[in-house]
Amino acid sequence: MRYIEEFHDPELARRLLDEIRATVTRPWAMMEVCGGQTHSIIRHGIDQLLPEEVELIHGPGCPVCVTPLEMIDKALAIASRRNVVFCSFGDMLRVPGTDRDLFRVKGEGGDVRVVYSPLDALEIARREPDKEVVFFGIGFETTAPANAMTVHEARRLGIGNFSLLVSHVRVPPAVEAIMRAPECRVQAFLAAGHVCSVMGTAEYPELAERHRVPIVVTGFEPLDILEGVRRTVRQLERGEHRVENAYPRAVREAGNPAALRMIEEVFEVTDRAWRGIGTIPDSGWRLSDAFRAYDAEYRFDVGDVRTAESADCRSGEVLQGLIKPHECPSFGTACTPRTPLGATMVSSEGACAAYYLYRRLEVAPVG
Amino acid sequence: MADTDATGTTVDPANWSCPVPLRDHPVIVMGHGGGGALSGELTEHLFAAAYGNETLAALTDSAAVELGGARLAFSTDSYVVRPLFFPGGSIGDLAVNGTVNDLAMSGARAAYLSTAFILEEGVGLDVVGRVARAVGAAACAAGVTVATGDTKVVEAGHGDGVYVNTSGIGLIPQGVDIRPQRAAPGDVVIVSGPVGAHGVAVLSVREGLEFGSDVVSDTAPLGGLVAAMLEVTKDVHVLRDPTRGGLATSLCEIAAASGTGVVLTESAVPVPDSVAAACGFLGLDPLYVANEGRLVAFVPPEHADAVLAAMRAHPQGAGAAVIGTCVAEHPGMVVARTGLGGTRVVDLPLGEQLPRIC
Amino acid sequence: MCLAVPGRVVGIEDRDGTRMARVDFGGVVKDVCLAYVPDAEVGEYVIVHVGFALQRLDEESARASLELFEQLGLLEEEFGDAWARAEVEGAVPEQATEQEGVR
């Protein structure tokens, strides 16, 4: 068992698809919360294989989309400083701030480095003690234990030239906010499996009960996604709204207790702005007082950044399934993958880009 | 911003705007050298526009030019790889094989190369010597003569140790007309071997990403393989070596240049297990990872079996496989059939592929 | 969010007081922090995100999932629409529901 190829089996996928087709009787709209799941769905063409009754709404579970503009601008300001080595996951280099992105800062002479793990950034700090090394600590609950441990290690090992620019977000408050929207069309959630590997499933029964939505903890390989959809459709058809774990090989009800203890020690819950959504109470983490000395926001004076967001993009509505991409006035005219207005048109798994590509495919003349 | 009231926050979709990517970079960014859409735009809109001639406008790996009655392939390429030495090769191997291969993609056997070294003040002579010896050995292996060269030195801090530029010329055989515009519906798409090894080998020793693996660069000269293919038929339509941007980028460029549709059978693309594994944990797609010793060929169906057999009989083509076909549908687009039987559109990457966590 | 990949622990060592593992992702080996899955042993699979093991992968659950997927087709072939109808109507044996619920 290698836990990857086994969950790509086309024959088992066909059985799951047959089962979904046999079960579904009417249209259902479900949201996969996590950008990693969206990636898998597009990558394997799963959206093209599902019966048309099943609509997958690509949710806001992608740090590229939701890291607030203010935090991007702070990152750009810090990365532009002399003597700073700014380390980041590759995802964030393309994310635009008010007037530029990290690629541009690098192009203008900033020392911006892509690393695989925050521990790699800590290692750079240890090797280059004369530099200030900052790691861009973005992401959801899955990434929080890694960033928490890194700060913890920095303090334990006395690596004083390391700091973390923290913009962590939490899934359950976002689910709550989405369900509270009056026009909300989401009837069920595929919860993010790896978030639950860390957090467990205890936060979800209350949400499922309050909003009467099925929540199915779902993995990331093709068969995992199909199993998540199958269980969700089954609950919806039966009128149920339970929490199910369709990813038991990696998710325990209690999550990872050691990781939760570390998060508890290093972070504290805070209100957090989500780009395009606005501030959601208690939806993020920041460093707790005991670790404030390692907070890049405090170490570098970046309180004066001024932000300005473009207002033409309606991808927020797209992300909630309130409108289809082509119902946006800019779709296909002002906004295309070559000249995108919003993040959903940028990467190939973005809802608008995917829709745009397939529309081109469907309407392409036979030449 | 959304309203916050006593009961908590609701999403106000009218105000949910999204990041606007900055495509109109006023400065050069790394993506301009990544082989993707930004590279293409720079070449097409800045350089080709400034130079204005039809030979350049063809935007092929090497130019086909007539001189004194002979048809020559002519190409140049600069090498800025970091680190200079990586599993399976060095900047010296790349500098020779890269240009030899660009010429081969016109059907030409490389005859003469130039090499230009741009050296950074302070770099060790032993390092330069190692690179030079690698150039010599690679040239010998490719059967090409280094006929002229140049050396410049820049101040410390103004270069990455060693940059190398090579240019090359070679004769294009009579009756051979290989260029991306010739891809046509019915053509069979063949790749000469497993993809992604070079890009993964270089990443495996890059600071901040290091990992242990047995993956070595696939850098190799392809002139001999191309000659073996042309012995079967001179009517090979397109050849491309999928370097930066990988196989997907080459296929997209060929589809766009020819106006044909390309259907790619994803499960047929050979990807070494360890390349797939590295791409898995870095979040990369092997279809977009660089190769330095592979080619993709578009061959008319009547010759496909014989060309494939000739490729497999050659050491550089032992792992050759049919990976797709050209179709009249979706002109200019590449569509992949996924392992599950689904479809996805394969698009040109914007710039360089970066490890992702999302 | 959340690209996390299964890999097999091939070596464990203490580095500066932190439990670290060499993890094999199918021919590619990477250093991974094992602090959150401290009882993982050599030979076991863990799921890794940005250099940290987040959970041990449970082989029994994985096999149970795959077996369930295989049975889907068989059950349909054996019991046809009747079984599917019964399931939709909620007449599934209590056991089956339990088995697939939250663990």
Q: pLDDT digits over B123-174, tens only?
A: 999 999 999 999 999 999 999 999 999 999 999 988 889 999 999 999 999 9
Residue C10 contacts A, CB cutoff 8 Å: no
**Does residue C43 belong to the interface with chain A, where contact is any CB pair within 8 Å?**
no
Q: pTM for this one?
A: 0.87
Q: Mean pLDDT over all residues of chain B? A: 89
Containing domain of residue C19, as a range? Answer: 5-57
Domain boundary among B145, B171, B197: B171
Looking at the partner chain, which of A25, A146, A197 has a beta carbon nearest the beta carbon of C50?
A146
Q: What is the ipTM of this complex?
A: 0.90
**% residues pLDDT > 70 (chain B):** 92
Q: Report helix angle A35-43 to A222-238, nearest 10.
A: 110
Inter-residue contact A97 to A104 (CB < 8 Å): no
Cα distances from A107 to residues A89, B28, B29, B266, in angstroms, run 17, 6, 5, 35
**In angstroms, what separates the C-alpha of A59 from chain C's closest C-alpha?**
11
CA angle (A40 as vertex; A273, C42 as ends), nearest 5: 95
For residues B224 and B274, membership in a common domain is answered with yes
Q: Which residues of C touch A252 (CB under 8 A)?
A: 55, 103
pLDDT at B27: 77
Do C9 and C53 have their domain in common?
yes
pLDDT at C85 exceeding the cut of 60: no
Q: Which residues contact A257 (CB under 8 A, 6 or more apart)?
A: none
- Model confidence at B72: pLDDT above 60: yes
Same domain, C10 and C38: yes
Minimum Cα–Cα distance from B206: chain A residue: A115
- Provide DSSP, B53-97: -HHHHT--SSEEEEETTEEEEEEEEEE--SSSEETTEEHHHHHHH
Same domain for B250 and B164:
no
Q: Number of C-alpha atoms within 13 angstroms, CB side, residue A288? A: 11
User: In 3D, which of A331, A33, A291, A305 has the Cα closest to residue A164?
Assistant: A291
- What's the one-letter identity of residue B244? R
Spatial CA neighbour of A198 closest among A172, A165, A231: A172
pLDDT tens digits, residue range A61-86? 877 778 888 899 999 999 999 999 99
Put simply, whether C81 touches A (Cβ < 8 Å) is yes
How confident is the model over A181-231, as pLDDT tens digits?
888 889 999 999 999 999 999 999 999 999 999 999 999 999 999 999 999
Average pLDDT over residues B286-314: 97
Domain locations along chain A: 22-302, 315-363
pLDDT value at residue A95: 79
Q: Quote the CA–CA distance of B168 and B147 in Å, as a whole number.
A: 9
Report the candidate in B29, B34, B37, B32 with the shortest Cα–Cα distance to residue B253: B37
* Domain containing residue B290: 180-346
| C44 located within any domain | yes
CA distances B30 to A93, A107, A109, B175, Å, are: 11, 7, 12, 39
Mean pLDDT over A167-178 rounds to: 93
Do C70 and C28 reside in the same domain of the chain?
no
Closest by alpha carbon to B239, among B348, B67, B135, B105?
Answer: B105
Tokens of A84: 């700073």
Asked if the structure places residue B53 within a domain, the reply is no
Kindly state whether residues B69 and B158 are assigned to the same domain.
Answer: yes
- C27 and C53 share a domain? yes
**CA of A245 to nearest chain C CA: how many angstroms apart?**
5
Q: Which of A35, A45, A367 sits opposite B338 (nearest CB)?
A: A45
Put simply, the answer to whether C28 touches B213 (Cβ < 8 Å) is yes
Do residues B97 and B201 both lie within one domain? no
Residues B167 and B184 in one domain: no
Structural domain includes residue B40: no
Q: Are residues B229 and B282 in the same domain?
A: yes
Amino acid B15: pLDDT: 39
Is C102 part of a structural domain of the chain?
Answer: no
pLDDT confidence bin for C73, thresholds 50/70/90: low
| Within-domain flag for C96 | no
Residue B24 lies in a domain: no
Q: What is the mean pLDDT of residues A136-162?
A: 96
Contacts of B344 in chain A (CB under 8 A): 42-45, 48, 348
Chain B partners of C46 at a C-beta cutoff of 8 Å? none
> Which residues does chain A have within 8 Å of residue B29's beta carbon, measured at their own beta carbons?
103-104, 106-107
Considering the domain architecture, whether residues B147 and B252 belong to the same structural domain is answered as no
Is the confidence at residue B44, as pLDDT, over 70? Answer: yes
Q: Say how many CA atoms lie within 13 Å of A181 toward its Cβ.
A: 26
How many structural domains are present in chain C? 2
pLDDT over 50 (residue B248) = yes
Instruction: Give the residues across from A270 on adjacent strands.
Output: A284
Helix ranges restricted to H, A166-268: 171-180, 193-199, 204-211, 222-238, 257-266
Structure confidence at residue A350 (pLDDT): 66
From the list C3, C26, C28, which residue is nearest B357 (CB)? C3
Report CA-CA distances (Å) from B272 to A11, B268, B275, C45. 23, 12, 5, 21
Clarify whether residues C52 and C9 are in a common domain.
Answer: yes
The reply to whether CATH 3.40.50.11740 applies to domain A22-302 is yes
Mean pLDDT across B280-302: 95
Asked if B275 and B289 count as a contact pair (C-beta separation under 8 A), the reply is: yes
Same domain, C19 and C42: yes
Asked if residue B19 is part of any domain, the answer here is no
Q: Is residue C29 part of a domain?
A: yes
From B213, B273, B283, residue closest to C3, measured CB to CB: B283
Instruction: Note whether C67 contacts A: Cβ–Cβ < 8 A.
Output: no
